[in-house]
């Protein structure tokens, strides 16, 4: 599966969707160093000039959100906090996602606070996968029909 996402990214490196979905896959599998690596790349891909079938959410906020979560899990709480703050201040995150990002910001703030509580806070909550993720993967040619 990873190879298919990488081939899709390789064929259109100006698009963040394939590498973003690869990041998401690595996150769901708990492969945090890989999720961080791929999210870091996806987060710096500029908005493409393409106009057809572009998931702008990957370019506007989702890649940075994945990077915030992956940063938390590799222990870079300061970066996780920074990315969550940028997301919340950026004006691109849909209202339905803001509470989750705010909760992730709290987790990162608690972890980077000087005095830790005796019990660590729960990890950032995972999103329910969008119902159209398989359709999108097929559209990108990542999955067969």
Nearest to 104 by CA among 64, 139, 45: 64
15-56 confidence digits (pLDDT tens): 999 999 999 999 999 999 999 999 999 999 998 887 778 889
pLDDT at residue 51, as a whole number = 74
Alpha-carbon gap, residue 17 to 56, rounded angstroms: 9
100-145 confidence digits (pLDDT tens): 999 999 999 999 876 555 556 566 666 654 444 445 545 555 445 4
pLDDT at residue 54, as a whole number = 84
Residues 6+ apart with CB under 8 A from 133: 21, 24
| Torsion-angle region of 137 (φ positive above 0: left; ψ -120 to 50: alpha; else: beta) | alpha
pLDDT at residue 53, as a whole number = 85
* Side-chain half-sphere CA neighbours of 97 within 13 A: 19
69-78 confidence digits (pLDDT tens): 999 999 999 9
């Amino acid at each position: 599966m990873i190879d298919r996402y990488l081939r899709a990214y390789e064929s259109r490196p100006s698009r963040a969707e394939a590498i973003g979905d690869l990041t998401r896959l690595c996150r769901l599998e708990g492969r945090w160093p890989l999720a961080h690596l791929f999210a870091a790349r996806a987060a710096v891909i500029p908005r493409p000039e393409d106009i057809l079938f572009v998931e702008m959410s990957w370019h506007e906020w989702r890649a940075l959100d994945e990077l915030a979560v992956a940063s938390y899990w590799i222990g870079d709480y300061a970066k996780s906090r920074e990315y969550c703050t940028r997301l919340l201040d950026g004006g691109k995150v849909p209202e339905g996602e803001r509470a989750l990002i705010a909760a992730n910001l709290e987790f990162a703030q608690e972890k980077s606070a000087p005095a830790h509580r005796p019990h660590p806070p729960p990890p950032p909550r995972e999103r329910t996968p969008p119902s159209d993720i398989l359709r999108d993967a097929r559209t990108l040619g990542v999955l067969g029909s």
